Structure 1
Amino acid sequence: MISRNSLGNIYPIKKLGDVADFLDSRRKPVKECDRIIGPYPYYGANGLQGWINDFLFDENLILLAEDGGHFDNPDRGVAYKISGKTWVNNHAHVIKPKEGVDLDYLCRVLENYDLTPWITGTTRGKLTKGGASEILIPLPPLSEQRRIASILDQADELRQKRQQAIEKLDQLLQATFIDMFGDPASNPKGWNLGKLGDVIHSAKDGPHVSPNYSETGIPFLSTRHVRAGKIVWDDLKFITEEDAQIHWKKCKPTRGDLLYTKGGTTGLAAVVDTDLDFAVWVHVALLKTNHDKVRSEWLVSMLNTQYCYEQSQRYTHGIANRDLGLKRMVNIEMYIPSLDEQDKFVNFKNKLMKSNLLFENSNSYFEQLFKSLQNQAFNGTL
């Protein structure tokens, strides 16, 4: 993340409205239900939103979030490039650099910018065109812009490759699961059959009340912190220990439990592999595994198979407020191999996770390297 206070005084500082044109008048929102699917990408504040049968733009441009962007966590990205025939809705500003301004460089300046000084609104932050025009941009000579963009591109490529390696290991794990136990849909090895409810002691969720967040305290996890196979400890919110005690009376996560998303994005499972105290939002179910029947590390891989995921989607009700009810999720069907066979898989998984940890540590290093280069680039010390 960069901010207006980290720009330094080496390069001239310009306003975005002076170095780029806004093409906002040409954008047009189309409700998803009214879109005719076609070959052209349909973009919004945070990237690709779908596909459409027509286009509004046909050139290299930058999109900068207007509303609905990651303004509270710009490291997730608030600007990105588009090219070719595209359609843009009214949630992203459409920016075209003026002569003497390199598009790649300008996008690198904007992509992780702390925009809070120019955001209006409280419930839903908004970056108006007037506010966006005031964003401060360090502007070295064009050749220097291109040099900086090239260095950041190379650093970004390194961190992307590390992330791809992590994803490949995840794919290998799921492929090994199917190889060892067979496709759950057909159960070719004839394992005993059962349901999720047969292999857990309980499925509970947090209190059905909105939490009061605090600056520090007990980490409070929501669905965005649960991905298939892992808990993500980024962008955390906190509640007081007093409020946490209320949550823990209903469900308190402990090592070996499973978190299973049941609201919004449903059907993703991860194992609790920490002794850290934390609480969960109502949209995250806490599954207490019956260790006499299944290993937690095996069960989480089972739930993240395509077979179980598709069942979770059938059991998810609602459109605007999607919910995978506790009483429905326990009916998800699965096969149940012997504990000896599960242990073989868990042993393989543990070895693979050691490699994964090395990649994640190196990925963290390259992430920090990129941020360091980013700050040096825009304060004139790169």
Structure 2
Amino acid sequence: MTIPVQKLSTFCKTGSGGTPSRSNNNFFENGTIPWVKSGELKNRYITEIEEYITDLAIEKSSAKLVAKGSLLIAMYGATVGEVSQLTFDATTNQAICNILPDENICDVNYLYRFLEASKPYLLSRRVGGGQPNISQGIIKDLEIPLPPLSEQRRIASILDKVDELRQKRQQAIAKLDQLLQATFIDMFGDPVSNPKGWNIVKVGNIVDEFIGGKNVECPDESDSPYKILKVSAVTSKVYKSSESKIAPNGFVPNNLAIVKKGDLLFSRANTTELVAATAYIWQTPDNIVLPDKLWKFSISDEAKVNKLYLWDLFKNTEFRNELSKLSSGTSGSMKNISKGKLNELKMPLPPKELQEKFAEISTKLWSEIEIYKQSSDTLEKLFKSIQNKAFSGTL
């Protein structure tokens, strides 16, 4: 059966918003109208927001009221390509495209799932320099397969059910990680205020060197046996060797830049929210190489510090705030941390025996997390497979 295809613009109302001038207090003070920013498009549904604007702001700016149920796509910024759905009437900034389909032609949940699956394509169409963006025109030109509404709802329902299972696995992983973070605080206290009075040392007194790779342009195809990590390999604070690109033909890595089990990786360059992300390598293929934007900790004297203690120290929210303060850069989308500044950062150093005790707890919890991760990875593959079948008419 041939499924009819229509451009999104033929059956959807679309638009974008605006940012009222912050120099006029009357636009924000005592505001009651929700104003959504692109950085808030992180989950399926928008249920809470940070800022509100006034009726005057709508009257005097390009911000417009968007109806409850509308879909929102981030056109640029840290969440570019992400899709969310409004659970209340709201306004948005100019970095968001709002979409409301004709319910007689397209089910909104089906369209959400299609747009979610279209993220890789949309990202491939970004243009611009420091902060590449997706234009509203590209979104409006998306060609949407439109089976009968009953079939659209069936597809959306199947994807919803698999996604629910996927989310439950992720929530279980998050709870175990929260338990480990709570254990860290219980054993060591807040690492910034240091209520337990541990010795304070500079990071450079513990870490001999931060080793990075080179900035290598990776092709789409190559016969190289090596893969080069992307920054996204550590942004979730969990190492993902799959977040890598094939190296060019003839690439010969520095042996020190090849990552190994037991390495601790650090993102020295990323957006303000993601810079300084740190991940420990429990296991990895032996052909994975560091890029220029990721460093690994080189520690010759491990009698002083356990890497699992360091990992949770660098993941701690308060300590991450201190790390973030070290970042610099004029670009709004990319920040950098220098080795010099990182080496000078002060950190608490509890007794090694206590660090080792924490490392034992961490290892046990992460073995449990790994079981959930394997299940989660299986569900992720299933979800992607169903997505592909759903929008090619073979589900």
Letter in structure 1 aligned against 2:323: S
C-alpha contact 1:229 1:301 (8 A) present in aligned 2: no
1:47 aligns with 2:41: yes
Q: Deviations over 1:3-50 (max 9, x none)?
A: xxxxxx35433332333233x2x6335689999586624244992697
1:61 is matched with 70
Match of 1:203 among 189, 210, 219: 210
C-alpha contact 1:105 1:146 (8 A) present in aligned 2: yes
Q: Deviations over 1:250-298 (max 9, x none)?
A: 7554433322222233322222333623333333232102312112112
Shift of 1:335: 2.5
Shift of 1:359: 0.8
Q: Deviations over 1:33-80 (max 9, x none)?
A: 999586624244992697452562233212345567999xxxxx5543
1:338 is matched with 351
Letter in structure 2 aligned against 1:283: K
Matches for 1:33-112 after TM superposition, within 5 Å: 36=28, 40-44=34-38, 47=41, 51-54=51-54, 56=64, 57-64=66-73, 79-100=83-104, 101-112=106-117
Q: Deviations over 1:122-160 (max 9, x none)?
A: 97574552x544433232333332233222222211111
Q: Assess, with a 3 A threshold, how the Cα gap between structure 1 residues 186 and 82 changes in structure 2: closer, same or farther.
A: closer
Q: Assess, with a 3 A threshold, how the Cα gap between structure 1 residues 308 and 152 changes in structure 2: closer, same or farther.
A: same
CA distance in 2, matches of 1:175, 1:88: 36
1:270 aligns with 2:279: yes
C-alpha contact 2:210 2:339 (8 A) present in aligned 1: yes
Q: Deviations over 1:101-136 (max 9, x none)?
A: 22112222222126479948697574552x544433
C-alpha contact 2:123 2:134 (8 A) present in aligned 1: no
Q: Deviations over 1:212-243 (max 9, x none)?
A: 21334432224332236422234422333754
1:231 is matched with 239
1:145 aligns with 2:152: yes
Match of 1:17 among 9, 24, 28: 9
2:59 is matched with none
Taking structure 2 as the reference length, the TM-score comes to 0.77
2:266 is matched with 260
Q: Assess, with a 3 A threshold, how the Cα gap between structure 1 residues 286 and 242 changes in structure 2: closer, same or farther.
A: farther
C-alpha contact 2:202 2:347 (8 A) present in aligned 1: yes
The CA RMSD over aligned residues, in Å, is: 3.5
Matches for 1:240-251 after TM superposition, within 5 Å: 240=248, 242-245=250-253, 248=254, 251=257
Shift of 1:363: 0.8
CA distance in 2, matches of 1:135, 1:224: 27
CA distance in 2, matches of 1:11, 1:357: 41
Q: Deviations over 1:316-344 (max 9, x none)?
A: 23342522211111222223233332222
1:162 is matched with 169
- More deviation, 235-244/139-148: 235-244
| Structure number having the greater strand percentage | 1
2:57 is matched with none
1:374 is matched with 387
- Number of positions where the alignment pairs a residue of Structure 1 with one of Structure 2: 362
Taking structure 1 as the reference length, the TM-score comes to 0.80
CA distance in 1, matches of 2:4, 2:110: 15
- More deviation, 49-58/106-115: 49-58
Letter in structure 2 aligned against 1:162: R
CA distance in 2, matches of 1:159, 1:33: 44
Which residues of structure 1 form unaligned runs of 5+? 1-8, 72-76
1:221 is matched with 229
1:292 is matched with 303
Letter in structure 2 aligned against 1:16: L
Letter in structure 2 aligned against 1:80: S
Q: Deviations over 1:326-367 (max 9, x none)?
A: 111122222323333222211111111111011111111221
C-alpha contact 1:65 1:93 (8 A) present in aligned 2: yes
Shift of 1:176: 0.9
Q: 1:316 aligns to what SS in structure 2?
A: coil
Letter in structure 2 aligned against 1:47: L
Identity between Structure 1 and Structure 2 (%)? 30
